[in-house]
Amino acid sequence: MSDEQTGGKSHMDNAAIRIEGLRKTYRGSKGQPEKQALKGIDLTIPRGSVFGLLGPNGAGKSTLINILAGLVVKSAGHVSIWGHDQDRNPRQSRAAIGVMPQELNLDPFFTPRGALEVQAGLYGVPKAQRRSDEILELVGLSDKAEAYARTLSGGMRRRLLLAKALVHNPKVLVLDEPTAGVDIELRQMLWANVRKLNQQGMTIILTTHYLEEAQEMCDQIAIINHGEKIAQDSTADLLGRMDGRTMVIIPDGPVTELPATEGVEATLRDDGSLVLRYRSAQTSAEQVLESVRAVGMRIRDVRTEEADLEDVFLALTSTRAGDVPAADLDQPRRGLHRVKL
Ligand SMILES: Nc1ncnc2c1ncn2[C@@H]1O[C@H](COP(=O)(O)OP(=O)(O)OP(=O)(O)O)[C@@H](O)[C@H]1O
């Protein structure tokens, strides 16, 4: 829509990423059948967001990211990055995006500073505009600037990958599973950097298997499964779709009988607390409390728990993509099986 109509200025498209009808079919080899990794994805990622791309193993996340990065050639569809159509303006669209990959693919003979300089060269960043020291400082590698990559720890290599993704000051930064297998300290450093870069105006896209992380970091989330997008919404609205509630009661005295009210599922935890699950659309908190009083239980303390992203995720991915009409999203979780992330 943009470049061709505006002579490359692209001011009509104000999305960070616009994807339309994106398909990828990997050719089969050695007797393997072909694989449809992406089956027609439409996705618009707003500028300035921290956007989460979620999906179980094999959903197609890496394929999508690799297409954005220009590492995998799409089979069909349109991709535009910061208003630059990937096919018509490959150079501009590539310059607008930086990707921190999953794999630690670093040349062992480069020092961090050397690696950044080479990367800057690849992106045609003029010497005067290079910010290697500033970036090394940001990722906490200043004191390792001259160390060979092969002597860096796994955590330091990851930081160097982030640094490399930043050399050309991209508008959009993609982090592919950035915290898989990293320690808490590095994870905190990564998130602090992500927040800082986002505050400076960078759009961030991250894939993660850690739902709490997506919940904490992302303002919008898309879920893909079996190569199809099955949900996209603000994190708050996605969570708001679930009306499952959990009430936890600390009884005042031993529990001799569990409440047995329809619509309330009661279980006792080892620590003596009583867990009551219910749907807020069908059962009120008052009815839940009544069911507790009805069995003569006295309440010392009570708290409630909201549905979390895992509930949404399980509800959405527990059947094949496309089989879950939006109206069914609020159905109770009973009968759904867990999907391993
Ligand atoms: N080069 C390839 N050739 C053939 N099939 C591939 C290739 N790369 C990926 N696939 C297949 O395409 C599907 C999507 O893979 P992809 O790596 O994009 O998923 P993912 O969501 O990133 O999973 P993960 O979280 O495990 O990285 C999978 O079924 C995978 O086996």
Convert the pLDDT of each residue in 215-274 to its tens digit: 889 999 999 989 999 889 998 888 777 677 889 999 998 888 999 888 899 999 988 899
Give the angle subtended at the CA of 170 by the CAs of 168 and 171, to the nearest 5°: 155
One DSSP character per residue, 296-310 reads T--EEEEEEE---HH
Q: Domain spans of the chain?
A: 3-96+170-237, 243-305
**Nearest atom of ligand 1 to the alpha carbon of 55:** 21
Residue whose CB lies within 8 A of the most ligand 1 atoms, among 35, 206, 209, 229, for a mutation test: 35
The per-residue pLDDT for 244 is: 78
Query: What is the rounded radius of gyration, in angstroms, for the C-alpha atoms of the chain?
Result: 24
Has domain 3-96+170-237 been given CATH number 3.40.640.10? no
To test ligand 1's pocket by mutation, which of 63, 176, 179, 228 has the most ligand atoms within 8 angstroms of CB? 63
Gap between the Cα atoms of 139 and 136, Å rounded:
5
Residues 6+ apart with CB under 8 A from 49: 16, 203, 204, 218, 219, 220
Which CA distances in Å does 267 have to 248, 249, 273, 274, 340? Answer: 10, 11, 9, 6, 24
- Tell me which residue has its CA closest to atom 2 in ligand 1: 26
Looking at residue 12, its pLDDT comes to 61
To which residue do tokens 């009120």 refer?
284
The CATH code belonging to domain 243-305 is 3.30.70
Task: Look at ligand 1, atom 16, and give the residue with the nearest C-alpha.
Answer: 60
Closest CA to 156 of 166, 142, 173: 142
pLDDT value of residue 153:
87
Say which residues have a Cβ less than 8 Å from residue 11's Cβ, sequence separation at least 6: 2, 83
- Tell me which amino acid residue 295 is: V
Q: What's residue 112's pLDDT?
A: 94
Encode 246-265 in three state secondary structure: EEEEEECCCCCCCCCCCCCE
What residues flank ligand 1, with Cβ below 6 Å? 26, 35, 37, 55, 57-63
Low-confidence ranges of the chain (pLDDT < 70): 1-12, 242, 307-308, 318-341
Interaxial angle between packed helices 154-166 and 112-122, expressed in degrees from 0 to 180 and rounded to the nearest 10? 30
Q: Check for a shared fold between 3-96+170-237 and 243-305.
A: no
Which residue's alpha carbon is at the smallest distance from atom 31 of ligand 1? Answer: 58
User: Do 285 and 301 meet the contact criterion of CB atoms below 8 Å apart?
Assistant: no
